[in-house]
Amino acid sequence: WSWNGEAMTPKVIVDCDPGHDDAIAIMLAGRLTEVLGITTVSGNAPLNLTTENALIVTELLNLDVAVHAGADRPLLVAPRHAAEAHGQTGLDGPVRPEITLEVASNDAVAFIIETVRNNDDVWLVPIGPLTNIALAVRQAPDIVDRVAGVSIMGGSAGAGNVTATAEFNLWADPHAASIVFDAGFKKLLMAGLNLTHQFGIDEQLISDLRALRNRAGTFAADLFDFYLASYQKRTHGQRAPLHDPCAILAVTHPGLFRFESRNVRVETEGTHTRGMTVVDERGWGEGPLNCEVEYSIDRDQGMRILLETVSAYT
Ligand code: BDR
Ligand code: CA
């Protein structure tokens, strides 16, 4: 998909579970979009921590954005977190700052519904498990046609991470994910692992961020020191995939990506495939082309935009 040509700042709700890469996605959204609100969900860490982490990032960046806490567990399956990637707090690494900000509400789902009903062309950007979005769709099906689109980080047109076939956000709440993929959104963009593994961070990026010598750059570098080390230890990979920012860039800079329209369904019950995105790549399948799957990204340009955006925080 692409913009019609007109210059505009998209309005977004960032639905997240910070999370190192969620924190960086919030940084991008704070400068590249009009953030109508941040909603939190149980995911990388329990809800109380992902919410506190969202408040930490918001306060550190001095963003004038309300944080609404959402679902504290998946729809049907037991909550599971990702301490192996993000530490016990969900945001291990930097010194944890004291904060004064508090949540605006504990009803993220009501906030999403109300905001979409009261604003035209809102983008939903879910970068954690899809529980809040599924609940909003179930409670208020009218929001499906109201939103400009949904830009998800999750799934994969290829290998998984938490299992051989499933990516964490979809695996953590497969029933919610299935509701969202089947909802009939006019634009559903998917930044899956096949894409985000092309957008990896390395020591060079960390030193470039540190060299910015602003608070946001130092915080991002401290986050990445932990995130890169934990990724390299677990996977023996070199660059650590910067998943969640891809879902923001897909809205603000679609020209960086190659999209293909696909039928995508979510496996909810499979013995070995729970949470897998079944991407129909045959080209002659029967299902609707419900998803714009991202297949490639211009990494160098994307990283330049990231650095420029973080440097814009004074
Ligand atoms: C996704 O899972 C989380 O650990 C990250 O924040 C990202 O949203 C990647 O699988
Ligand atoms: Ca996330």
Question: β-strands 240-241, 200-201: how paired?
Answer: antiparallel
Residue 237's pLDDT is what? Answer: 85
- The answer to whether 197 is a known catalytic residue is no
- The alpha carbon of 180 and the centre of ligand 1 are apart by a number of angstroms equal to 17
Question: β-strands 277-280, 291-297: how paired?
Answer: unpaired
CB 275 within 8 A of CB 171: yes
Global pTM? 0.97
Q: Establish whether residue 160 lines the binding site of ligand 1, counting it when its CB lies within 6 angstroms of any ligand atom.
A: no
Q: HSE on the CB side for 14, CA within 13 Å? A: 36
Q: Establish whether residue 246 lines the binding site of ligand 1, counting it when its CB lies within 6 angstroms of any ligand atom.
A: no
Residue 2's pLDDT is what? Answer: 67
Residue 207 φ then ψ, to 5°: -75, -30
Atom index in ligand 1 nearest the CA of residue 21 equals 6
Query: Which residue's CA lies nearest to atom 4 of ligand 1?
Result: 44
Q: What are the helix (H) ranges across the chain?
A: 20-32, 47-60, 83-86, 108-118, 131-139, 143-146, 168-172, 174-182, 193-196, 203-211, 215-235, 245-252, 299-311
CB 183 within 8 A of CB 152: no
The residue count of the chain comes to 314
**Site of tokens 């039928």:** 263
Residue 4's pLDDT is what? Answer: 55
- Residues with Cβ within 8 Å of residue 307, at least 6 apart in sequence: 205, 208, 209, 212
User: 1: which 2 tokens?
Assistant: 């998909």
Residue 283's pLDDT is what? Answer: 81
- The alpha carbon of 162 and the centre of ligand 1 are apart by a number of angstroms equal to 10
Q: Establish whether residue 44 lines the binding site of ligand 1, counting it when its CB lies within 6 angstroms of any ligand atom.
A: yes
- The alpha carbon of 65 and the centre of ligand 1 are apart by a number of angstroms equal to 22
d(Cα 203, Cα 225) in Å, to the nearest integer?
8
Q: What are the helix (H) ranges across 151-260?
A: 168-172, 174-182, 193-196, 203-211, 215-235, 245-252
Helix 215-235 × helix 47-60 angle, to 10°: 140
Q: Establish whether residue 82 lines the binding site of ligand 1, counting it when its CB lies within 6 angstroms of any ligand atom.
A: yes
- In order along its 314 residues, the chain shows pLDDT tens digits of 666 544 579 999 999 999 999 999 999 999 999 999 999 999 999 999 999 999 999 999 999 999 999 999 999 999 999 999 999 999 999 999 999 999 999 999 999 999 999 999 999 999 999 999 999 999 999 999 999 999 999 999 999 999 999 999 999 999 999 999 999 999 999 999 999 999 999 999 999 999 999 999 999 999 999 999 999 999 988 999 999 999 999 999 999 999 999 999 999 999 999 999 999 999 888 899 999 999 999 999 999 999 999 999 98
Q: Establish whether residue 19 lines the binding site of ligand 1, counting it when its CB lies within 6 angstroms of any ligand atom.
A: yes
d(Cα 294, Cα 196) in Å, to the nearest integer?
9
For 120-151, b where at least 16 C-beta lie within 10 A, e where not — what string? eebbbbbbbbbbbbbbbbeebeebbebbbbbb
Residue 163's pLDDT is what? Answer: 97
Evaluate the omega torsion of the peptide bond into residue 19 and state whether it is cis, within 30 degrees of 0: yes
- The alpha carbon of 126 and the centre of ligand 1 are apart by a number of angstroms equal to 11
Atom index in ligand 1 nearest the CA of residue 168 equals 10
For 223-253, b where at least 16 C-beta lie within 10 A, e where not — what string? bbebbbebbeeeeeeebbbbbbbbbbbbbbb
